[in-house]
Amino acid sequence: MIEIEQNIMAKNDGYAARNRQRLQGTGTLALNLVSSPGSGKTSLLVATIRALAGRLPVAVIEGDQQTSNDADRIRATGVPAIQVNTGKGCHLDAHMVGHAIDHLGLTDNGILFIENVGNLVCPAAFDLGEEAKVAILSVTEGEDKPLKYPDMFAASSLMILNKTDLLPHLDFDMAACAANARRINPTIDILHVSARTGEGLADWVEWLDNRRKAVLARSIAVAEAQVARLRLAAGE
């Protein structure tokens, strides 16, 4: 069992490295959105796309076991989207994402959102070539979710607490949830967002801008290093 798992992960990591190289070559910020089912990932994506309209290119890869419902919702915003159905599979892998990128194409200096299958377990282990994982947790879930699913929150750079407009009707403890997340991952960023009302969207867009600038700076540095190596090889 251990040998099989290692072989599967090594193969996936190879595909992920190729995806990452392609994404870096176009200056694309790729984010892997992970959550349990019903957290509001697609609604948040739609609201995000509207907030980013006219500012930069956006594309989406949608992962679900069945149906094209989520990709249809994304395409209705005017943004290109590819639906990947995993059948009995509980997560996307790097090979699937690479094929989806082939069909989508990538516009330079944009954002690629990868909406993973709703699952807080398996997607934590699979690198897709993304810049970061973003865990989306709705306030209709328990504040102990980071403790129950530690691998996912340990692997994520950001936790978005979504559906905050419902807080007046719930007993969800925001401070306890944040403390639980930071117990697992002390460096995790945390944002409070309502995709329905727009609360916190500006903070989310600012987080995206900051990560995108970091990706662009790294892509420029890599390109400059390649040019320097070519000049050195040419004797310049």
Specify the number of domains making up the chain.
1
Tally of residues, the chain? 236
Burial 114-127 (b: 16+ CB within 10 A, else e): bbbbbbbebbbebb
Find out whether 202 and 8 touch, Cβ atoms under 8 Å: no
pLDDT tens digits for range 35-59: 999 999 999 999 999 999 989 999 9
Say what the pTM is. Answer: 0.91
Q: Say how many C-beta atoms besides its own lie within 10 A of residue 20's C-beta.
A: 17
Q: Measured between alpha carbons, how far is 51 from 213 in angstroms, rounded to an integer?
A: 18
Quote the domain boundaries for residue 158. Answer: 2-233
| E strand intervals along the chain | 29-34, 58-64, 81-85, 111-115, 132-138, 156-162, 189-192
What pLDDT score does 1 carry?
A: 47
pLDDT tens digits for range 205-224: 999 999 999 998 888 887 77
CATH number, domain containing residue 76: 3.40.50.300
Of the candidates 8, 31, 27, the one whose C-alpha atom is nearest the C-alpha of residue 156 is 31
